[in-house]
Amino acid sequence: MASISSLFTSLSSSFLFLFSFATSQSILLPTDRSNQAQNCPSSSSEPLSYNYPVIGIVTHPGDGASGRLSNATNASYIAASYVKFIEAAGARVVPIVYNEPEEIIAEKLKLVNGVIFTGGSAKTGPYFERIKNVFQIILDRNDEGEHFPLLAICLGFELVTKAVSKDNNILERFSAKNQASILQFVDNAATNISIFQRFSPQLIEKLSTDCLAMQNHIFGISPQRLQTNDALSNFFRILTTTPDKDGKIYVSSVQAYNYPVTALQWHPEKNVFEWGVSAIPHSEDAILVSQAVGNYFISEARKSSTRPSMKKVLDNLIYNYAPRFSGAVGSGFDEVYLFQ
Ligand SMILES: *[C@@H]1O[C@H](CO)[C@@H](O)[C@H](O)[C@H]1NC(C)=O
Ligand SMILES: *[C@@H]1O[C@H](CO)[C@@H](O)[C@H](O)[C@H]1NC(C)=O
Ligand SMILES: *[C@@H]1O[C@H](CO)[C@@H](O)[C@H](O)[C@H]1NC(C)=O
């Protein structure tokens, strides 16, 4: 009975609400709406929040499938998970094909509001040279006053660590292949800056108990080594650390002090978009982690003052390429974009 009477109360209050609404403001039929101005200004009018952000993703050598898709010596790829991760946060992608001529890469970088360095294995050679060169362009643009963010993931973290320290032997070995892990905050303030701003307090708590961060690396850097390297410790603030399979602690997330540069040893894109390895966490919390990182990074890209020609953007978008389904051949990625 109680529930019926409370149902009645709520029905009658909604009826009263409708009634008072109808008397104070006559009900509009769809055809009457035309002279009611829809006052939603175009989202591009806010100068400091550009709502058409485009992200450059640097391709990685190879086909991403150990020769199952292509053996072309100049082939390079982007795992589609990075692309979808960016798209899901409200941005589009321009591939930066690492082995294209420097002038073309410079032109493409003028079309983008932020850059991603992906995971992978190429630690030396032309790829590392290209990453260093693009990293310098990113720093220069920030020094010139543009807010131009970088998200460096896994191998990207390692290469940026090498580039900042100018020490090709700075990395150490860790045992963290295909392992979901926790993230330990080095101090509470770390939750207030960088990607972790977008995490709810509950999710921040869970990061230190639940394995929500996907790791897949055999190199890394310990907090001690980072802190005792002047170049690195002046450049990066350590946000989180993580124990590897042997309990050895490595740095898992860093944020530059003076640049919108975030580097993660872990893979935010995999939780949502990669299914080939059973260790990848896909729980609702794991998905929230991915989305919070994507949303943070694109919020940084919206602050960039680059306003490229839309025609040039369209000509260079990743939509000019079709992803290939590579999950069925067990390549490690579900889909890849190939450039060759
Ligand atoms: C690449 O080379 C390997 C080894 O020779 C071969 O098994 C594979 O089929 C080749 N891949 C393609 C796409 O042709
Ligand atoms: C984080 O920011 C909030 C809101 O600005 C503040 O109340 C809190 O003290 C900060 N926490 C730390 C650890 O700095
Ligand atoms: C790769 O090599 C092929 C054949 O030599 C060439 O047509 C293509 O443009 C090259 N692609 C890249 C990305 O360098």
Q: Which two tokens stand for residue 235?
A: 């450049």
Q: What is the pLDDT of residues 247-287, one digit of tens each?
A: 999 999 999 999 999 999 999 999 999 999 999 999 999 99
Q: Across residues 171-188, what is the average pLDDT?
A: 95
Task: For the chain, give the percent of residues with pLDDT over 90.
Answer: 81
Q: Across residues 174-193, what is the average pLDDT?
A: 90
* Mean per-residue pLDDT of the chain: 90
Distance CA 134, CA 229 (A): 23
* Atom in ligand 2 nearest the alpha carbon of residue 188: 13
Query: What is the pLDDT, as a whole number, of residue 22?
Result: 45
Q: Across residues 54-77, what is the average pLDDT?
A: 96
Cβ contact 213:183 at 8 Å:
yes
Least confident of 44-48, 69-73, 330-334, 335-339: 44-48
How much is the pTM?
0.87
CA nearest ligand 2 atom 2, residue: 192
Strand partners, 239: none
Residues with CB under 6 A from ligand 3: 74, 97, 99, 339-340
Distance 239 CA to ligand 3 centre (A): 41
CA nearest ligand 2 atom 4, residue: 192
Kindly give the pairing relationship between strand 76-79 and strand 60-61.
Answer: antiparallel
60 part of the active site: no
Query: What is the pLDDT, as a whole number, of residue 198?
Result: 87
Task: For the chain, give the percent of residues with pLDDT over 70.
Answer: 86
Q: Is the CB of 71 under 6 A from ligand 1?
A: yes
Q: Which two tokens stand for residue 102?
A: 């420097």
Closest among 270, 262, 220 to 239, alpha carbons compared? 262
pLDDT tier for residue 292 given thresholds of 50, 70 and 90 = very high
Q: Helix, strand, coil % (nearest 5) of the chain?
A: 40, 20, 35
Q: How far is CA 296 from CA 25, 43, 93, 172, in A?
A: 41, 18, 16, 29
- Would you kindly state where each structural domain of the chain is located, as residue ranges? 54-339
Cβ contact 91:49 at 8 Å:
no
Chain-centre distance of CA 59, in angstroms? 15
**Catalytic pick among 147, 154, 211, 217:** 154
Least confident of 35-39, 98-102, 163-167, 260-264: 35-39
> What is the CATH class of 54-339?
alpha beta
Least confident of 15-24, 66-75, 123-132: 15-24
Distance CA 239, CA 312 (A): 37
Burial of 6 per CB tally in 10 Å (0-12, 13-18, 19+): exposed
Query: What is the pLDDT, as a whole number, of residue 43?
Result: 56
CA nearest ligand 2 atom 7, residue: 192
pLDDT reading at 7 higher than 80: no
pLDDT reading at 34 higher than 90: no
H runs (alpha helix) in 25-180: 80-87, 102-109, 125-143, 155-165
154 part of the active site: yes
Query: What is the pLDDT, as a whole number, of residue 41?
Result: 62
* Atom in ligand 1 nearest the alpha carbon of residue 63: 13
- DSSP annotation string for 260-300: SEEEESS-TTHHHH--SSTTS--SHHHHHHHHHHHHHHHHH
Query: What is the pLDDT, as a whole number, of residue 308?
Result: 94
* Atom in ligand 1 nearest the alpha carbon of residue 71: 1
At which residue do the structure tokens 């983008």 appear?
112
